[in-house]
Every structure is written in C-alpha cells, then in structure tokens.
Amino acid sequence: MEFKDEIARRRTFGIISHPDAGKTTLTEKLLLFGGAIQEAGAVKSNKIKKSATSDFMEIERQRGISVATSVLAFIYQNKKINILDTPGHKDFAEDTFRTLTAVDSVIVVIDVAKGVEEQTEKLVEVCRMRNIPMIVFINKLDREGKDAFDLLDEVEQKLGLQVTPLSFPIGMGYDFQGIYNVFEKNINLFSGQSKQSIEDTIAIDDLNSPELEKLIGETAAESLRDNLELVEGVYPAFDKEAYLAGEQQPVFFGSALNNFGVRELLDCFIQIAPPPRAKAAEERVVESDEKKFSGFVFKIHANMDPKHRDRLAFIKIVSGTFERNTPYLHVRHDKKLKFSSPNAFFAEKKEIVDISYPGDIVGLHDTGNFKIGDTLTEGEKLNYKGIPSFSPEHFRYINNADPMKAKQLNKGIDQLMDEGVAQLFTLELNGRKVIGTVGALQYEVIQYRLEHEYGAKCTYENFPVHKACWVEDTGENPEEFAEFKRIKQKFLARDKAGQLVFLADSSFSLQMTQQKYPSVKLHFTSEFASQ
Ligand code: G4P
C-alpha cells in the first residue's frame, strides 16, 4: 500500500466521558465489531473505583491494566483504528488532557439519565479549544432518561456545542424500540435479547410507508415522524466540513451494553472522522504526508516490574514512517537514538513492529531519556506545541524522610515528574520542593512508588496555594518586574523547566498582584509563549 493510502486509512481517536457513562463498555463493543476480541468482558475497566482511593494495591493493579489498554487498535472495513485510552478519574485529568494532544478526533459519551456531567464539561472544553472534531454518543437508552430534545439542548448549552442528530431514538427505557438512522435513513429495531451479538438493521427507506406502523406500532410511528420533522426544522443538516473544523457535532443515540446503535456510530465514524492531521510545531506546521519522520511523546508509563526501571514512552507519529533500528534525533537532548524493539498495539496486545505510519502510536522502551512533550525527528529541530502544564489543584511540600537516601529521592522525584505524574516547583527563597497535583490520590501514588521503585521515603506538609501562575516578563517595565520579584519572593518558584512561577495563596492576593504589577503577565498554563 502507498504511504498516502496508509495515512488515509488511519483513524486515531479518544473516547471521553464522565466516569460510569459507558466509555469502557463502548470501547469493548467497538473492538467486538473490529473482530479484535471475541467476547464482551475482555477489556478491563481501567477506572479506579471510588472505594479504592487509598488502596495502593488497587492503584498498582490499575497501572497494569492501563498499560494494556493505553492504545487499542483494530481494523474495521480496512480502516486502521487506534483508540487512545483516557482515564476517567478526575485525579488523572491531566493524563487525559495530554492524551488529547495525540488524537485526531474524539467520541464523547453521555449517560441519557445523568446528562452532561462535570468531567465531560472539562474535557469537552479542552477539545473545543483545540477544534478537535467530536461525535456525541448518548448512551443507556435501554434505561429511563431525559427527553432526547432536552438532552440535545443541554449538550448545546452546557458544552457549547452545535449539535445535529444523526440518529434518533424510538422510545426510551421500557418503551425503547430502536433507533432511526438519519445518516443512512433506516431503522434498527431493538430486540433486547442478546447483549453480545451484532444485530442486523431492518431497513426502512420510506418513513411514510405503513411498514413503520407494522414495525413499531401506530403511536410510536407517529411520534417518530413528528420528532424527525422537528429535528429537520430545528437542527442544521450535517456538514462534514463544519464537523472537521470542530464547529458542528453529530449526535448518536444507543445502548453500548446492549450493543445497540454502536454499528451506526462506527460506520459513520469511519466515513467522516479525520485521518491523521497536520500538527503545529513551534517552528512550523508539519503535514502528515511529509516523507520525513517526526513524532512526539504524549505519555510515559513506568514499568510494572520494579526490578526493571525502564519505562514505555508513547510516541504519536505525526509525519513520515517510524522504522525499527533507525537512528532518530531526540531534539531536546540533541542526540541520536535507535530503537530495537518498538512496540505497536493491537487489540489488548503489544508486539514489536518494523514500520509505523502517521496516526500510529509506538511504545518505546526508555531508561530516562524522555519526558512528556519531547520530539523525535529524522534530523530537523522541531518542537511540537500543545502540551502545556495546567495549574495543579493541590500543593504540598515534600520532605526527605530518610537522609541516607537523598539521591534516590531526588532521582525518583525527577523521573516521576518526567512521566507527568505531578509537577515540581522549587521555591526561590529556600530551595524547598513543592509537589503540585490535580488530585489528592497522586500523593499516595508518589509516596508508594518512591518507596517501591526508588527505595526512598518521603513525608508531605501542607502548603496553602490557590493557584500556580506562570510569570511572563514582558520587558515593558523592568523596574516593576524587579519590584514584583523582590516583594513576592516568598511566593516565587521555578518549575521543572526553569520557568518562573507565582504561587498565589488566595484569589484575592492573585487579583491584587495583577493590579499592582500590570506589566507582569500571569498565565494559567505553562505554554503562554505560543498562545
Ligand atoms: P466508564 O468506563 O465510562 O466509567 O463506564 P463503564 O463502561 O464501566 O460503564 C459503567 C456502568 O454502566 C457499568 O455498570 C456498565 O455495565 C453500565 N452500562 C454501560 N453501557 C450501558 C447501557 O447501554 N445500558 C445500561 N443499562 N448500562 C450500561 P456497572 O454495574 O458499574 O459495572 P459492571 O459490573 O456492569 O461492569
């Protein structure tokens, strides 16, 4: 197959949702369609159950599962589909944000009864900011839930999306009869019998045909016709260009658990979802069909076996082909590296691969060379944008609890931060180290891993910070900047990349600081230079 055809047949995407909306179940059904697994239940949920927040073994077990499900690839109708896993647990939201830098589109799963939930709002906002094409799947139609039109309204209002339904439910919960496929203009009736088989569609080309009454009864037929008339009147027709530009989001209804409405979703997805897209580097925009290889690290996973401290760095290929045993430039280190056993992912397995194409993810064994955001190329000095750090929500001092193991502790902290587990800030005033995380769970993960993987012990101490803001010296007023640094010294720190950060202790002090030093720009993400 030609290089261009290989690119055109790839679809790399992520499924995002609030926990429990049905992401794992949908993923599993998609794999079932791809023939990548034979039965339901084969994909383990990687979510951390609420009850497990302080259970270290559970965290470890989950780490094992999430390596296996980091990338799930399968072939469907000759398309190579790569699903990138995104953790649903809010404490790992930053992992999800980073994974979203490597997807070309997303599917948003919403629970029909719960509607738009908090985590969905946050994740969709990130996708909206990046104009990522999104398809919405409203799940659990076999249960009683909200009215379809109310839900579509809620999706528009709360998520700021422009929806257009491409399928529409016939009844719901106890009365759920099936789905009308607006995209293909046919009906799929719900038998509710088999949860695992893949059912056939009953085609009905003409909505006005009396066949409809025979199939779903008079009342349902009438209400479907009315609903579809309303859909046509209220929502814009599907516009592929608008979808690809992130300006319109098609909506599907179904029940992942019952494998219902999933085929409609998948068939439409492979037709409309974008193949690997161009990506902006600081230097220039790189097209996916450029011949020379380039890619970037969006995730690093530590080895499960503490005796082998190597890690798996996940690279998204942006352009060209990645080949085994070929030297590539590690741009940040300015050195060439060669990989003898790059892993590719297929269903839940990983295997050594000789050649990978744009859109694919390769897992590279790493002994500490990589950090998140690193770029690999055939020689060009490119730095891919779009992997910023966000202000953490929690901050604690980290103290060494075993003076004999200071070296191990520092190494452990260093490597865990490169993996993106948390962020490290070093105070300007006294050099003390502060760990910032998105959720409280990470502190336990860090403590546990420092002890088990690096033989170091730590304790924490509260450090009240409202928000970390990255400081930009605009050069407009050097005196004001010097004054800001002097007065606020106690609240200044460096992040791991050496950037200056202001740790505001309250929203009031943040506001006052902004007013008092207008020439000092405070940013809520680390990547302001490219905004
Ligand atoms: P997540 O990855 O988004 O967190 O959700 P997951 O797929 O694990 O689904 C959450 C729960 O919702 C699961 O039930 C799952 O079986 C159920 N579910 C998913 N899709 C549907 C659907 O279409 N209809 C109905 N009625 N339920 C659905 P659970 O009891 O929490 O887990 P399990 O014991 O079934 O694994």
Q: What does the pLDDT read at residue 244?
A: 97
DSSP 176-196: --EEEETTTTEEEE-----SS
Domain boundary among 255, 272, 289: 272
User: From the CB of residue 112, how many other CB atoms can be counted at a distance below 10 Å?
Assistant: 26
Q: How confident is the model at residue 171 (pLDDT cuts 50, 70, 90)?
A: confident
19 among the known binding-site residues? yes
Question: What separation in Å is there between the alpha carbon of 66 and the centre of ligand 1?
Answer: 18
On whether both 305 and 268 belong to a single domain, the answer is: no
Please identify, by atom number, the ligand 1 atom nearest to the C-alpha of residue 46: 2
Per DSSP, what are the bridge partners of residue 433?
A: 426
Q: Are residues 268 and 291 in the same domain?
A: no
Say whether pLDDT at 203 is over 70.
no
Domain that holds residue 256: 12-67+105-272
487 occurs within a structural domain? yes
How far apart CA 215 and CA 409 sit, in angstroms, is 68
Q: What is the CATH number of the domain that holds 264?
A: 3.40.50.300
302, 201: one domain:
no
Q: Is residue 74, in this structure, part of any structural domain at all? A: no
Q: What secondary structure does DSSP assign to 393-427, as a single string?
A: SEEEEEEES-GGGHHHHHHHHHHHHHTTSSEEEEE
* Ligand 1 in reach of 139 Cβ (< 6 A): yes
Give the phi and the psi of residue 397 in degrees, each rounded to 5. Answer: -65, 145
For residues 96 and 36, give the distance between their C-alpha atoms in angstroms, rounded to a whole number.
24
Same domain for 170 and 314?
no
At residue 38 the predicted structure's pLDDT band, cuts being 50, 70 and 90, is: low
8 A C-beta contact, residue 100 and residue 130: yes
One domain for residues 429 and 464: yes
Kindly state whether residue 89 falls inside one of the protein's structural domains.
no
Q: Does residue 399 share a domain with residue 302?
A: no
355 and 443 fall within a common domain: no
- 375: three-class secondary structure by DSSP: strand
Whether residue 98 lies inside any domain: the answer is: no
Amino acid at 274: P
* Domain assignment of residue 90, yes or no: no
Q: Does ligand 1 come within 6 angstroms of the Cβ of 45?
A: yes
Q: Is there a domain that residue 91 lies in? A: no
Q: Which of 58, 221, 237 is nearest to 163 (CA)?
A: 237
Beta bridge pairs of residue 186:
181
88 Cβ inside 6 Å of ligand 1: yes
Pocket test for ligand 1, best of 25, 27, 66, 174 (most atoms within 8 A of CB): 25
Ligand 1: which atom is nearest the Cα of residue 18? 3
Q: Which of 16, 17, 18, 20 to mutate to test the pocket of ligand 1 (most atoms within 8 A of CB)?
A: 20
Residue 421, pLDDT above cutoff 50: yes
The predicted structure's pLDDT at residue 478: 94
Average pLDDT, the chain: 87
Which of these three, 344, 377, 410, is where a domain ends? 377
Q: What is the CATH number of the domain that holds 334?
A: 2.40.30.10
Does residue 523 or residue 44 have the better pLDDT?
523
- Any binding-site annotation on 22? yes
Residue 72 lies in a domain: no
Q: Kindly state whether residues 303 and 401 are assigned to the same domain.
A: no
Going by C-alpha positions, the residue among 153, 203, 211 that lies closest to residue 180 is 203
Tell me: is residue 89 an annotated ligand-binding position.
yes
Mutating to test ligand 1, I would choose from 96, 257, 264, 265 the residue with most ligand atoms within 8 A of its C-beta, which is: 257
Query: Which amino acid is it at 345?
Result: F
Task: Answer yes or no: is 139 a known binding residue.
Answer: yes
User: Which one is predicted more confidently, 454 or 90?
Assistant: 454
pLDDT in tens, 290-344: 999 999 999 888 765 656 667 889 999 999 999 999 999 999 999 999 999 998 8
What is the spatial distance between Cα 84 and Cα 101, in angstroms, rounded to a whole number?
11
Helix (H) or strand (E) holding 29: helix 23-33
Tell me: do 241 and 137 sit in the same domain: yes
Kindly give the number of the ligand 1 atom that is closest to the alpha carbon of 255: 23
Do the annotations mark residue 86 as ligand-binding?
A: yes
**Which atom of ligand 1 lies closest to the CA of 139?**
23
160 has binding-site annotation = no
Domain count, the chain: 3
- Which of the four pLDDT bands, split at 50, 70 and 90, describes residue 436? very high
262 and 289 together in one domain: no
**For the chain, percent of residues with pLDDT exceeding 90:** 57
75-117 tens-digit pLDDT: 999 999 999 988 766 667 777 888 899 999 999 999 999 999 9
Residue 23 known to bind ligand = yes
Residue 416 in tokens: 């865990």
Domain final position from 226, 244, 272: 272
* pLDDT at 40 (0 to 100): 54
Atom of ligand 1 nearest to the CA of 19: 4
Residue nearest to atom 10 of ligand 1 (CA): 20
CB atoms within 10 A of CB 267: 17
Cα 110 to ligand 1 centre (Å): 12
pLDDT in tens, 455-492: 999 999 999 999 999 999 888 999 999 999 999 999 99
Identify which of 418, 416, 421, 405 has the alpha carbon closest to the alpha carbon of residue 455: 405
CATH number at residue 432: 3.30.70.3280
Closest CA to 237 of 181, 163, 160, 186: 163
pLDDT-based confidence at residue 51 (cuts at 50, 70, 90): very low
- Whether 310 and 256 map to the same domain: the answer is no
Q: In whole angstroms, how far apart are CA 43 and each of 30, 40, 245, 287?
A: 11, 8, 32, 34
Report strand pairing: 163-165 vs 105-111.
unpaired
| Tens of pLDDT, residues 368-381 | 889 889 999 999 99
20 Cα–ligand 1 center, Å: 6
Q: What is the pLDDT of residue 43?
A: 57
Q: Does residue 345 lie within any of the structural domains?
A: yes
Q: Does residue 194 carry a pLDDT above 50?
A: no
The answer to whether residues 353 and 481 belong to one domain is: no
